[in-house]
């Protein structure tokens, strides 16, 4: 499988995973407070952990419609990556993680592309 196909597959799987989170909340998932204990912590603690254990640092971010910040953390060598959602109150929650991160060049879009 070539790199482009792997990237498309990764984005597709991440999208499916994000769509499944609300559905899981209605189908016997742990109570919200228990889930937050397992997957969320103060941003400073999460960042310290990712830096110390995986050598990850922020490489991309975007503002979510709910006021949160979606961050992509990657290791310098691309071996690991993590996607976090940080809420306005400073709590960071794990959205996804994996290995073999690769940056892709932005492709121009629009009438002049």
Q: Cα dist. 96→2, 11, 20, 49, 113 in Å?
A: 22, 11, 12, 15, 32
Characterize the bridge pairing of strands 40-42 and 56-63: unpaired
Residues 35-83: tens digit of each pLDDT:
444 479 999 999 999 999 999 999 999 998 889 999 999 999 989 999 9
Whether 81 contacts 75, CB under 8 Å? yes
Structure-token pair, residue 62: 């975007």
Strand order across the beta sheet in which 56-63 lies:
40-42, 91-99, 80-86, 69-75, 56-63
Q: Does this model's pTM top 0.75? A: no
What ranges do the domains of the chain cover?
Answer: 3-99
Residue 52 main-chain phi, psi, to 5 deg: -70, -40
């Amino acid at each position: 499988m070539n790199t482009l196909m792997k990237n498309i597959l990764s984005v597709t799987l991440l999208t499916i995973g994000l769509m499944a989170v609300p559905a899981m909340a209605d189908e016997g998932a742990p109570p919200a407070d228990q889930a937050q204990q397992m997957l969320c912590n103060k941003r400073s603690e999460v960042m310290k952990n990712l830096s110390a254990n995986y050598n990850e640092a922020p490489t991309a971010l975007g503002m979510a419609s709910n006021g949160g910040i979606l961050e992509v953390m990657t290791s310098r060598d691309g071996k690991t990556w993590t996607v976090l959602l940080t809420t306005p109150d400073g709590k960071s929650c794990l959205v996804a993680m994996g290995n073999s991160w690769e940056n892709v060049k932005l492709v121009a879009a629009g009438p002049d592309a």
